[in-house]
Structure formats: C-alpha cells, structure tokens
Amino acid sequence: MILVTGATGTVGSLVVSALRSQGREVRAMVRKSTSAPASWDEGVHPVVADFEDAASLDAAVAGVEAVYLLVGVDPRMAEHECQVIDAAVRSGGRPKVVLHAAAGVDLRPEGVRFVAAHVTAFDHLQASGLEWTVLAPGGFFQGFLGMAGSVKAGSIALPAGAAAVSYVDAADIAEVAAHVLTTDGHTGRVYTVTGPQALTHTEIADQLGDVAGRAVNYLAATADQARAALLAAGLDEWRVDGLIELYGLYAAGHASKVSDAVPVLLGRPARTFAEFAAANGAVFRSS
C-alpha cells in the first residue's frame, strides 16, 4: 500500500492514477470523506486526515510501504511536511518517503518562501533515518490553463522577465513519482524534473497563440503590477508575495536548467509545451 497525500490536487490525482495503472493499491489522503473523486476505483482507499492532527496522520501512515509527500501551498507547509515525516517515523514500519519539493531545493536559494519550506522539510527528512527520495519539479504547464481568459484576449502578463524557464507537464511528474515509489535505486537522490527545453514566456505565448488561432503577446509585468493584479484576483498576501518571489527567481534565470530525469527514469522524452498546448487547444480557443 502506498500513501499519497494531496491526492486530489493537480499532481496528486495524477500520481494516484499512475500508481493504479501499475495495479498498485493506493491510500489517498483527503481532508473530507466527500473529497474522493467518483473516478477512483476499488484500488484507491480514501483516508480522511489533517496535516495538523497527529492521530489522523498516524492512521493514514499505518502499514504503508511508501509515502508520496505532497502538500498544498500554505504558510504552514513546512510544518505539514514535517508532521507527515514524524508520523512515518512513529509508525515503526519505516516506509520510504518521496518528498514532492521544488526545483532548486538542493541549491537552497534565499528569499523564496515556497522553496524555503521544502528545504526545512528536506532537512527534517534527512535527519529522520527513513529511506528518502526528493522530486524537485519545475513549474507546471498546467498553470497556464488558468490564464486561458488572458490568452483569448491576446496577451499574458507575468513578472518573469526575459529569462527562459524549464516548465514540465504534471503528468510527467506523476509518472516519475510512480516509478520512484515502486522501484529501487533511488534512495538519497534528488531528482530535478523538467520538460525537455527551457522556453521564454515570449516563446510560450507564441505557442499558445498557435493553438488559440490568434496572436498572443507576452507582457513582462513589474513585481508591483503583478502583485496588484494577484491581490485584485482574490489571492491572499502571503501567497501573492510567494509568487512574486518565485517569479523573481525565474526572471533571474535560475529556472532554466533542463534535466534528464524524465528520459532516464521513464525511457521516453519529456512532453513538450507544444504538445501540452495542442492537447488543451479547446481551452485556449475562443468559442
């Protein structure tokens, strides 16, 4: 049995599917019993648990052979990751823990709160005595689905400067996760998971325009412009400031590295952004 936390999110739900495609039994952690998707079959066993409830985490971890540790972006995300690691230690079963972190976690960049939270959990995991692996993916292609309205209007605005970014398909992350969870030889490894190329946001806008059937321009927003837009969209200040920090990392060119994790681990090329855009063309085209 493999426990997947964050099992209903963008990546977590795909990890569940990837494990089931291998015939693996999955214990899927959810916050409420009503959160379980109707698409889950009898091989997926929902368990209701809360990152801040140690007893519920103990029940979730009990008897599993491995844990895919994925938490949502939250001011307490480091604490949440550490709580699951502690539950795994308390279980006595010594499950393998695969921590879903972020690209750059091994480089410990300063001033990026999302990455800093993963660094704290990474240190805690290393000190736990458990068998561990870290997956450190770049930004997801799927983040651009939320910009479909802007694409249809002919532009995307981000505070990412002119630097290239090695975004990755969430489905590739999930397949790598399933592979690492179910095979040997990954202990003590940090796998940076990226797409096959680094693209500037101008190049991304051009590829979105190809599937949208219209010109799409990239507007390099300032940090202040982006902050105002995100706050106006209803995001809380902590998350907004974290996103500005992350895009600052991108703008400085620190997210352009392309890794070979997908082809080496899965034996096939990583999906390209053009493939992602084409597969989701209906989302980006005006009706």
Q: What is the pLDDT of residue 63?
A: 94
Q: At CA 193, angle to CA 189 and CA 194, rounded to 5?
A: 155
174 assigned to some structural domain: yes
pTM of the model: 0.94
In tens digits, what is the pLDDT along the chain, a chain of 287 residues? 999 999 999 999 999 999 999 999 999 999 877 777 888 999 999 999 999 999 999 999 999 999 999 999 999 999 999 999 999 999 988 899 999 999 888 888 888 999 999 999 999 999 999 999 999 998 999 999 999 999 999 999 999 999 999 999 999 999 999 999 999 999 999 999 999 999 999 999 999 999 999 999 999 999 999 999 899 989 899 999 999 999 999 999 999 999 999 999 999 999 999 999 999 999 999 86
100 assigned to some structural domain: yes
267 assigned to some structural domain: no
Question: Domain containing 29 — which CATH number?
Answer: 3.40.50.720
C-alpha–C-alpha distance, residues 135 and 105, integer Å: 9
Q: What is the pLDDT of residue 84?
A: 97
C-alpha–C-alpha distance, residues 125 and 97, integer Å: 8
Torsion of Cα atoms, 178 then 182 then 185 then 191, to 10°:
10
Alpha-carbon distance values, 190 to 27, 75, 168 (Å): 24, 24, 16
Q: Phi, psi at residue 134, to the nearest 5°?
A: -120, 130
C-alpha–C-alpha distance, residues 162 and 199, integer Å: 10
Structure token digits, residue 216: 């799409």
Does residue 201 contact residue 160 with C-beta atoms inside 8 Å? yes
Sign of CA dihedral 38, 33, 17, 23: negative
Q: What is the pLDDT of residue 106?
A: 85
Q: What is the pLDDT of residue 37?
A: 84
Q: Tell how far CA 33 is from the center of its chain.
A: 23
Structure token digits, residue 176: 């790598």
Domain extent for 65: 2-137+169-193
Number of domains in the chain: 1
How do strand 155-158 and strand 96-100 relate by DSSP bridges?
Answer: unpaired
Q: Tell how far CA 68 is from the center of its chain.
A: 12
31 burial via Cβ count (<10 Å: 0-12, 13-18, 19+): middle
99 assigned to some structural domain: yes
55 assigned to some structural domain: yes
C-alpha–C-alpha distance, residues 192 and 195, integer Å: 10
Sign of CA dihedral 11, 14, 15, 16: positive
